[in-house]
Structure 1
Amino acid sequence: MDESLVDIVLILLAALVAVAVIPTFDVEPPTSTEINDSEIQLKPLQIAIDDSGAFLYADGSSDNNVVSLSAQELYDLVYDTNPNRTIEFTADRMAPANILVEANRIVQEVGRNAVFLVVVDS
């Protein structure tokens, strides 16, 4: 009985030491800020990636005008956008992974923020 009490005390002490020594990784948690009514709210730059790996962009000149972009054209488009504008990639679930990696590389090279959404049909 005394041995089990000693075991319990040792386990509790080990748990306290583990909780007391919290490692720091210098990772800042994401924060949110409120948007004032006077601030401009930018719509994300939306680019689709289809199952063949093509970058598709609706340029807004007409309702159904979708333009296929090369990697260089994507770079130029992202570079010319407002730095505060988020780039939103919507990828087909069959899109080649290397194309998503290439899109991420382009966005990081330009220094913009991006969101990747993968569409999975059920």
Structure 2
Amino acid sequence: MAGDRHGKHNTTTISFRVNSYEKATIEERVKVSGMKKQDYIVRSCIYNHVCVVGKKETIEIIRSEMKEMSLVLEDVAKDLKSEKPVISEPVLDSMTERYLAFLEAALWMLKGSSYLWEDKKDGRESNEGL
């Protein structure tokens, strides 16, 4: 979480370009939030609501990542079950962090696309059974 970064040195930079209207809008929202710009942008990126529109490319990315994750986790499980595991704790921690981030992103995307499988409650009566 953004607040957890206090006192730590962050080494990763993410940057992007915006037009003047988008910049002004972000600046105003930061101002009224009372947060630092960095914290506001991080929280906005992590906790925003997104409506996902399915694309073949998106599904392929998820499929590829899940396949890789499955293969690596099978190897890790086999290694951890052996008498003398060779995987180091830092490697396991790094892998856990990466896969947890991917799983959270996949779940976030699925939540954004849940309208595709949820029952619609729009007040219209069903004509089924007539």
TM-score band (shorter)?
A: under 0.3
Higher percent of residues as strand: 1
Give the alignment's TM-score, normalised by structure 1: 0.19
Which is higher, the Rg of structure 1 or of structure 2?
A: 1
Higher RCO, 1 vs 2 (CA within 8 Å, ≥6 residues apart): 2
